[in-house]
Amino acid sequence: MVLGACATWSLITGTLHDGRPEGVLLAVLAVAAGYATGRICGALMPVAAPCAGALAGLGLALAVPGLVPGPQFAAPLGHAGATAAVLTLSAGAACCAARAASVPVLRLALGALAVAVAVAAAVLGSAVGLVCCGAVLLVSLAAGRVRRRGAAVGGLAVAAAGVAGLAWAVAARVLPDGLAVSAEGQLTRHRIELWRDALRLAHRNTGLGVGPGRFVEFSPAAAQSLQPDGKPHSALLQQAAEQGLTGVLLLAAAYGWLLHALWRTARPTPVALTAGAALTAVAAIAAVGNALSFTAVTVGVGLLAGTATARPLAEEPGPPGAEPRSSRDRPAP
| pTM, to two decimals | 0.89
Confidence grade of residue 67 (pLDDT, cut at 50, 70, 90): low
Residue 313 pLDDT: 83
Distance (Å) of CA 121 to CA 80, 135, 236: 11, 13, 25
**Given a cut of 50, is residue 286 above it in pLDDT?**
yes
What is the DSSP code string of 129-156? HHHHHHHHHHHHHHHTT---HHHHHHHH
Segments making up each domain of the chain, as ranges = 2-312
Residue 317 pLDDT: 55
Instruction: For residue 197, give the 3-state DSSP assignment.
Output: helix
Pick from 51-65, 72-86, 241-255: least confident: 72-86
Average pLDDT over all residues of the chain: 87
**Given a cut of 80, is residue 327 above it in pLDDT?**
no
pLDDT (tens digit per residue) in 225-235: 656 567 888 99
Q: Up-side HSE of residue 114: CA atoms within 13 Å toward CB? A: 31
Residue 190 pLDDT: 85
Residue 51 pLDDT: 96
Q: List all residues 6 or more positions away from 174 whose beta carbon is below 8 Å from its beta carbon.
A: none
